[in-house]
């Protein structure tokens, strides 16, 4: 079968599929079926190694934040974000990690909050949120933390206290400064400053950078 025949065959199947979906009376049923179809197409996509290749519209109540996100948005910027989504729609999905009962947010907490704060957004999405899923080999807690920080820092926004807590958590999980530097984009001095902010002496047990700082008596 040549390319032209394949294309015609695909066109007919797509047409039939669209007809079947269009005949469904339930909006939720349509969305769930479309999620399924997209997921199946994603499996055969040459670009499936990129999370954005598959975006699912998940029910808002299933999408929950994490307890380590170091990104904060001031009220004026939050208002602008809501207005942006109300006027332009969602142009960027939330990045999530599928867990047993919820989808845990890796990036996009405030895009989720926008839907919960705005009845206009909620109505327009039928109570759903666009979600792409973090790569399967990056779903451990330390990798998700690093991914969250990379997303935030790429936008130039993060909270210093929460960043300190993440560095603390990563070290307690056994990650060395070299791993943190590579995966989060910090330099040695920044890691040490964040260590100091935690106020926990045990974080200095790793002597990898012990020669970098000296304490003077005043």
Residue 105, helix vs strand vs coil: strand
Buried b (16+ CB within 10 A) or exposed e, 134-166: beeeebeebbbbbbbbebbbeeeebeeebbbbb
Which of 27-31, 43-47, 113-117, 142-146 has the least mean pLDDT?
142-146
> What pLDDT is recorded for position 37?
97
Residue 113 pLDDT exceeds 90: yes
Q: What CATH number is given for 48-137 in this structure?
A: 3.90.1530.10
**Threshold 0.75, pTM exceeds:** no
Q: Cα 82 from chain centroid?
A: 18
The whole-number average pLDDT for the span 115-123 is 97
Selected residue with higher pLDDT from 123 and 209:
123
- Note the pLDDT of residue 169: 75
Per-domain boundaries in the chain: 1-44, 48-137
CA-based nearest residue to 96, from 108, 105, 83, 87: 105
pLDDT surpassing 50 at residue 214: no
Q: What is the pLDDT averaged over residues 129-136?
A: 94
Is residue 201 predicted with pLDDT exceeding 50? no
**Would you say the C-alpha torsion 50, 52, 58, 62 has a positive or negative sign?**
positive
- How many percent of the chain have pLDDT more than 90? 50
pLDDT in the model for residue 200: 53
Q: Is the pLDDT at 24 greater than 90, yes or no? A: yes
Instruction: Categorise residue 13: left if φ over 0, alpha if ψ from -120 to 50, beta otherwise.
Output: alpha
């Amino acid at each position: 079968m040549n390319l032209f025949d394949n294309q015609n065959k695909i066109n007919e199947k797509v047409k039939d599929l669209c007809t079947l979906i269009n005949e469904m009376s339930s909006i939720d049923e349509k969305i769930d079926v479309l999620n399924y179809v997209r997921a199946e197409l994603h499996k055969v996509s040459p670009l499936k190694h990129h999370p954005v290749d598959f975006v699912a519209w998940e029910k808002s109540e299933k999408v929950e934040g994490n307890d380590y996100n170091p990104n904060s948005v001031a009220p004026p910027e939050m208002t602008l974000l809501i207005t942006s989504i109300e006027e332009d729609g969602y142009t960027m999905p939330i990045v999530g990690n599928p867990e047993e009962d919820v989808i845990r947010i890796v990036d996009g907490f405030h895009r989720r909050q926008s839907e919960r704060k705005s009845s206009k957004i909620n109505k327009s999405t039928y109570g759903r949120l666009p979600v792409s899923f973090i790569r399967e080999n990056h779903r451990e807690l330390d990798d998700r933390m690093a991914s969250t920080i990379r997303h935030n820092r790429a936008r130039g926004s993060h909270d210093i206290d929460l960043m300190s807590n993440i560095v603390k958590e990563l070290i307690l999980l056994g990650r060395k400064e070299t791993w943190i530097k590579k995966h989060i984009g910090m330099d040695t001095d920044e890691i040490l400053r964040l260590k100091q902010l935690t106020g926990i002496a045990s974080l200095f047990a790793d002597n990898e950078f012990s020669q970098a700082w000296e304490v003077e008596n005043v």
